[in-house]
Each structure stands twice: as structure tokens, then as C-alpha cells.
């Protein structure tokens, strides 16, 4: 299962850079891993996957790790794609499914990106990692760094959810709270990088987290027998998930692995979902811009969406527009009710980021943008259990035992 990765390409001007050297960005914008897909198309049949482990490393030809012994893994199994008929009926949809990423190591899809980023960092000789995080990325980076035996420094806003604040330390990272937002934390990493010898693992500032997120698109397509859904809703912060999926669909098409109309160029409509408390991508989408301005005073309970400025803004907006989808925001007040409603309808633990997707979906169905017979996939990017503050808030207090009025419960 040799990698077909060939070079790194600048996303802004197409400049090619060497693959087997530590690279971060080019002209201040992300680098993309390119593969020799012509050769892969001739040499690799999708049937080879049948005999492999059901984890993300099964797509090794389309991943950048050069030697298998450099893989840093915590057992990233394929996540379930679950039909949700009860929740679908509430929304007026016949085919609603949830791709449940809460099963992954450290309880969020961030492990996909970190598995690849840390594997490549190790492969290229890095010993010290650092990153800013809005929440789940810090825990995932700390866990994979520990697994690889690398040092890790994590910088997060001081009002990051409790579990995220604790888990980085749990896995032995040097974790720090910063009085500011994720981009302020990013500044600390940038300024300290040289003196501290850090390799910066920030979203899209190195090319490999994106390749890990890409496996979401590969896995979804394989689970749907090499077809794709009509509509995808994705909670969008830094955007690697959405951009990674879009890249996956493109690579699958070039490999000739897609079926039917999907092979002929049809793509799912992508909906990038944000909270009105931090909606830079939605604002740029509505204004017809390709780049987003920083969103001032960003505030949302969905910490993964609290990204006021995304270095890959144009990659997100290009993908959403090319897909015929939209970037949409919903009022912050709708997030927690939807988190509870979706979680209680089907027994899945829906994170507040994904709650934004359900509120958007409600609007899209009401507006007729998404029709009842559409095949819809909503991405549950993390485990509800990681958001203890959000979970605790609406619980009614139980009376002391003995005073319980059973009829009132």
C-alpha cells in the first residue's frame, strides 16, 4: 500500500514544493498534497480495500505517510453512518443519516487530522509540536504527540470548555490558557516558534491535517457503495473538514472509483453551518466575497465554531459555491435546544457544533431548499459528553428524595 503522494501545491498560485521536507505554507496560504492519480487509476482497484482493516489507514495510497512504520495511530476505526428516521420525520425528511465521529479517539473527528499530521511530523524528524485550539484539537494533538513520543504545547482561550482544558494536560502536553480567541493563541505559537523549536500544527498551516480530514469523504463514499449523498451539512470552523471532503470527492472521481451520476461529475451540495455568534464564512458567502474578514467579538457555546478568521476561507467558500450549496448561520439560542432535541430523538450524543447543522437543516427544509426525499448526511463532529457546561445548564433540579411528586415528573 504505497503512497502516491508526489508533491505539495500552493492553494493560491499552484507553486509546487517538495514533499519530503518540512513545509508549512506558501505566500501565507495553505499547501495541498497532490498525488499521481493517473498512475493510481491504472494500478489501484477499489476492490483492494476489501481485505484491509476498517480504519483510516486503509486509504494509504491516498495518504501522505511514506513508510508504514511512521504511522502514529490510536485505532481510528471507520465511524458509523446511522439512519435517523425518527429525527428525520421531525424535520420532514425521508432519508436523514448522521455520520457519527464521536466514536473516534479523544471523542471528535480532530483525531483524523492529528493522526496524519503527527505521523508526518514524526516521519520528517519533528520533535516539538505546538498549536492553538478552540477546543478538541488540543486534546487530540496531545494524545497523538504522546503516542509518538513527541513534545506538545497547547494554547487555548481561557473560556475553552472544561474537558478540553483538562484533556491536553491528561495526555502530558504543556497546556496554557490565553486571554483571547484562537487567533490570539495562534499568534503566541507563531511568535514562539523559532525560539522554542516548535512545528506549528495550526489548521491548514501544515498540509497533513487536511489529508486526515479527507478520509471522512473517502469513508462516506465507500459506505455508500461509491455513491454520494445529495446534501451534506457540516459545522464549519477552520474548514478543514469541508475542504478535505471536497478534495476526497475530486480524487475519487479522478481515480474512477465513483458510480453512476457521481462519476459524471455530480457532487453533493455542501452546507457550511455556523452560529450567528461567529459566522465569518457566512458573512463572506452572503457578500459574494472569496475571503472573509475577521469576525469581531466571536462568542458561541459551539467552541469548535469559534474561529473568527480562517486561513483557508477561500477554499471553504470555493467548495461550497462549486457544490451549489450555501454557508448558513443560525441564532446562538437555537444551538442548545437542538443539541438536546437531536440527542434525545436518536440516542446519539450530538455536539453543539452539529446542533447548528440541525437548526440550519430545519430552515432549509422550511424554505424548500432541501426537499423531503433528499438523501441528507449531517456530520456529528464530536461527542456531546465533552461539553459538560452545556449539558449541565438546562437540567431541572430534582427535589429531595421523599418529597417527590411523581405525577409532576
CA–CA separation, 48 and 57 (whole Å): 13
Q: Which of residues 159-198 bind ligand PLP (CB under 6 A)?
A: none
Does 79 contact ligand PLP by CB under 6 A?
no
Among 93, 351, 355, 364, binds ligand PLP (CB under 6 A): 351
Does 239 contact ligand PLP by CB under 6 A?
yes
Does 219 contact ligand PLP by CB under 6 A?
no
Does 217 contact ligand PLP by CB under 6 A?
no
CA–CA separation, 130 and 155 (whole Å): 8
Among 108, 160, 275, 374, binds ligand PLP (CB under 6 A): 108
Among 119, 240, 275, 300, binds ligand PLP (CB under 6 A): 240
Q: How many chain residues are in contact with ligand PLP, going by CB under 6 A?
A: 17
Does 106 contact ligand PLP by CB under 6 A?
no
Give the x/- contact pattern for ligand PLP in 302-321, rule: CB under 6 A. Answer: --x-----------------
Work out how close the CB of 304 gets to ligand PLP at its nearest, in angstroms, rounded to a whole number: 3
Among 64, 105, 135, 325, binds ligand PLP (CB under 6 A): 135
Nearer to ligand PLP, 4 or 295 (CB): 295
Cα 98–103–105 angle (5° rounding)?
140
Nearer to ligand PLP, 4 or 234 (CB): 234
Listed ranges 35-43, 47-55, 236-244, 337-345: which one lies at the site for ligand PLP (CB under 6 A): 236-244
Does 241 contact ligand PLP by CB under 6 A?
yes
Does 238 contact ligand PLP by CB under 6 A?
yes
Work out how close the CB of 276 gets to ligand PLP at its nearest, in angstroms, rounded to a whole number: 16
Nearer to ligand PLP, 135 or 217 (CB): 135
Listed ranges 23-31, 115-123, 146-154, 231-239: which one lies at the site for ligand PLP (CB under 6 A): 231-239
User: By beta-carbon distance, which residue lies closest to ligand PLP?
Assistant: 304
Work out how close the CB of 41 gets to ligand PLP at its nearest, in angstroms, rounded to a whole number: 28
Nearer to ligand PLP, 376 or 390 (CB): 390
Answer positive or negative: Cα dihedral of 255, 257, 262, 267. negative
Q: Would you tell me which residues interact with ligand PLP (CB under 6 A)?
A: 108, 110, 135-136, 203, 235-241, 304, 351, 353, 381-382
Amino acid at each position: 500500500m504505497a503512497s502516491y503522494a508526489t508533491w505539495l501545491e500552493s492553494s493560491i498560485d499552484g507553486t509546487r514544493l517538495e514533499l519530503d521536507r518540512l513545509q508549512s505554507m506558501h505566500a501565507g496560504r495553505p499547501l495541498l498534497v497532490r498525488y499521481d492519480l493517473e498512475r493510481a487509476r491504472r494500478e489501484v482497484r477499489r476492490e483492494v480495500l476489501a481485505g484491509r482493516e476498517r480504519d483510516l489507514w486503509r486509504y494509504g495510497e491516498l495518504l501522505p505517510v511514506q513508510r508504514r512504520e511512521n504511522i502514529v495511530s490510536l485505532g481510528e476505526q471507520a465511524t458509523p453512518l446511522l439512519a435517523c428516521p425518527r429525527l428525520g420525520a421531525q424535520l420532514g425528511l425521508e432519508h436523514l443519516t448522521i455520520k457519527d465521529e464521536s466514536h473516534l479517539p479523544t471523542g471528535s473527528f480532530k483525531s483524523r487530522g492529528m493522526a496524519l499530521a503527527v505521523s508526518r511530523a514524526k516521519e520528517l524528524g519533528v520533535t516539538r509540536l505546538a498549536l492553538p485550539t478552540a477546543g478538541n484539537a488540543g486534546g487530540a494533538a496531545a494524545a497523538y504527540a504522546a503516542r509518538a513520543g513527541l513534545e506538545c504545547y497547547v494554547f487555548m482561550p481561557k473560556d475553552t470548555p472544561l474537558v478540553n482544558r483538562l484533556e491536553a494536560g491528561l495526555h502530558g502536553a504543556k497546556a496554557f490558557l490565553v486571554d483571547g480567541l484562537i487567533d490570539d493563541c495562534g499568534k503566541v505559537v507563531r511568535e514562539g516558534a523559532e525560539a522554542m523549536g516548535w512545528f506549528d500544527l495550526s489548521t491548514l498551516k501544515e498540509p497533513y491535517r487536511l489529508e486526515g480530514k479527507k478520509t471522512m469523504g473517502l469513508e462516506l463514499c465507500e459506505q455508500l457503495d461509491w455513491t454520494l449523498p445529495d446534501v451534506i451539512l457540516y459545522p464549519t470552523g477552520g474548514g478543514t473538514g469541508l475542504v478535505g471532503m471536497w478534495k476526497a470527492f475530486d480524487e475519487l472521481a479522478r481515480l474512477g472509483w465513483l458510480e453512476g451520476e457521481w462519476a459524471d461529475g455530480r457532487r453533493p451540495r455542501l452546507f457550511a453551518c455556523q452560529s450567528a455568534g461567529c459566522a465569518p464564512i457566512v458573512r463572506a458567502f452572503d457578500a459574494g466575497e472569496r475571503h472573509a474578514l475577521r469576525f469581531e467579538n466571536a462568542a458561541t457555546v459551539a467552541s469548535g465554531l469559534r474561529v473568527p478568521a480562517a486561513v483557508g476561507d477561500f477554499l471553504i467558500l470555493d467548495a461550497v459555491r462549486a457544490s451549489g450549496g450555501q454557508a448558513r448561520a443560525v441564532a446562538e439560542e437555537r444551538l442548545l435546544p437542538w443539541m438536546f432535541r437531536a440527542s434525545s430523538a436518536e440516542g446519539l450524543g450530538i455536539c453543539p457544533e452539529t446542533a447548528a447543522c440541525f437548526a440550519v437543516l430545519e430552515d432549509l427544509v422550511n424554505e424548500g431548499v432541501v426537499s423531503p426525499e433528499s438523501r441528507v448526511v449531517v456530520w456529528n463532529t464530536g461527542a456531546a459528553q465533552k461539553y459538560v457546561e452545556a449539558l449541565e445548564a438546562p437540567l431541572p433540579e430534582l427535589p429531595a428524595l421523599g418529597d417527590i411528586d411523581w405525577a409532576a415528573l
